[in-house]
């Protein structure tokens, strides 16, 4: 009897072992299938975003008709950087939501890459960014994407309100796309910190541009900085003026086209982000953004120029 019981226990143990192995095998098979499905979705996305076999290379500023054509071809990722409440009320078709505050809450390069992946953006994908704040928020996000290596990012030429006033297509569907992969390739050529700004103070080939309003600039600014107020960069219909107008602003400030320009503003690099792209459009090829800007400069106790009686408006930038 005892032998029979032992035999039964052995049989039961064998069956249990076989059952566990079978379940483990099924789990592995399912995991493999899921991985294949995810890879297939990623490959499908990459195929969708190719125009006539090649990835569409965006300009610095994307015009409305180009964006509409790319949306129809499913060949672009549109990013709305307004507040999520505004996004839910209506947005450009296919746009995903990325409020600027979410990006700034943790803007480490690694975290930015995760955001790109969560939005379903892979390395070569064309991306167009827009806001409803004269382009400043969109500029900061666009620069950030380019800084971590997503070069193919462009500013929409107008705000959401401009788009809506033209009677163009809008939707209120919350768009989600499959997560993808994105590499991290820091573009240090467009980045500046306080140490770098301080090092170029006496270099005639490097120009510091303060993009705050004229009165703020006159009150206090970083030594050697020239002022191109953000209020001069755009107009009622476009976030940035024509190339000829921007070139005139740059020439009036004595900035040679072959110089290096570093832009800054008050705190987080939004206004100076817009100035960054204005200078690019004006023909300055080598432009950097001091994203932490004047707030960071002052907190570090760096030298500054102050005018106690700055109570007038200087239109010499025109």
Indicate whether 102 belongs to any domain. yes
The secondary structure of residue 259, as a DSSP letter, is S
Structural contact between residues 134 and 159, judged by C-beta atoms closer than 8 angstroms: yes
pLDDT at 314 (0 to 100): 52
The pLDDT value given to residue 190: 98
317 lies in a domain? no
Domain encompassing residue 264 = 189-306
Domain count, the chain: 3
pLDDT of residue 311: 54
Question: Do 181 and 214 lie in a common domain?
Answer: no
| pLDDT tens-digit series, residues 216-233 | 999 999 999 999 999 999
Structure confidence at residue 51 as a pLDDT band (50, 70, 90): very low
pLDDT at 42: 41
271 and 194 part of one domain: yes
Q: Tell me if 153 is assigned to some domain.
A: yes
Q: What is the pLDDT of residues 77-117, one digit of tens each?
A: 999 999 999 999 999 999 999 999 999 999 999 999 999 99
| CATH number of the domain bearing residue 283 | 3.40.250.10
- Are β-strands 61-62 and 305-306 bridged in parallel, bridged antiparallel, or unpaired? unpaired
Largest Cα span, the chain = 108
Q: Does residue 224 come out as left (phi exceeding 0), alpha (psi in the -120 to 50 range) or beta?
A: left
162 or 5, greater pLDDT: 162
């Amino acid at each position: 009897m005892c032998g029979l019981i032992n035999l039964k226990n052995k049989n039961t143990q064998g069956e249990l072992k076989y059952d566990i192995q079978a379940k483990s095998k099924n789990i592995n098979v399912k995991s493999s299938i899921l991985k294949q499905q995810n890879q297939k979705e990623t490959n499908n996305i990459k195929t969708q975003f190719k125009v006539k076999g090649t990835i569409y290379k965006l300009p610095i500023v994307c015009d409305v008709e180009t964006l509409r054509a790319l949306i129809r071809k499913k060949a672009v990722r549109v990013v709305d950087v307004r507040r999520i409440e505004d996004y839910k009320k209506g947005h450009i078709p296919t746009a995903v939501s990325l409020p600027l505050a979410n990006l700034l809450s943790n803007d480490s390069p690694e975290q930015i890459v995760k955001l790109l992946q969560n939005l379903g953006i892979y390395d070569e994908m064309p991306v167009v960014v827009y806001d409803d704040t004269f382009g400043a928020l969109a500029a900061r996000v666009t620069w950030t994407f380019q800084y971590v290596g997503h070069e193919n990012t462009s500013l929409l030429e107008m705000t959401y309100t401009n788009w809506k006033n033209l009677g163009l297509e809008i939707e209120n569907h919350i768009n989600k796309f499959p997560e993808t992969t994105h590499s991290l390739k820091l573009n240090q050529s467009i980045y500046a910190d306080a140490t770098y700004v301080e090092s170029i103070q006496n270099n005639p080939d490097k120009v510091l541009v303060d993009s705050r309003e004229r009165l703020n600039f006159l009150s206090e600014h970083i030594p050697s900085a020239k002022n191109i107020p953000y209020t001069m960069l755009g107009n009622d219909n476009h976030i940035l003026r024509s190339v000829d107008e921007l070139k005139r602003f740059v020439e009036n400030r004595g900035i040679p086209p072959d110089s290096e320009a570093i832009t800054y503003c008050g705190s987080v690099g939004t206004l100076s982000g817009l100035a960054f792209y204005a200078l690019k459009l004006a023909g300055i090829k080598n432009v950097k953004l001091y994203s932490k800007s004047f707030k960071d400069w002052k907190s570090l106790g760096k030298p500054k120029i102050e005018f106690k009686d700055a109570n007038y408006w200087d239109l010499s930038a025109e």
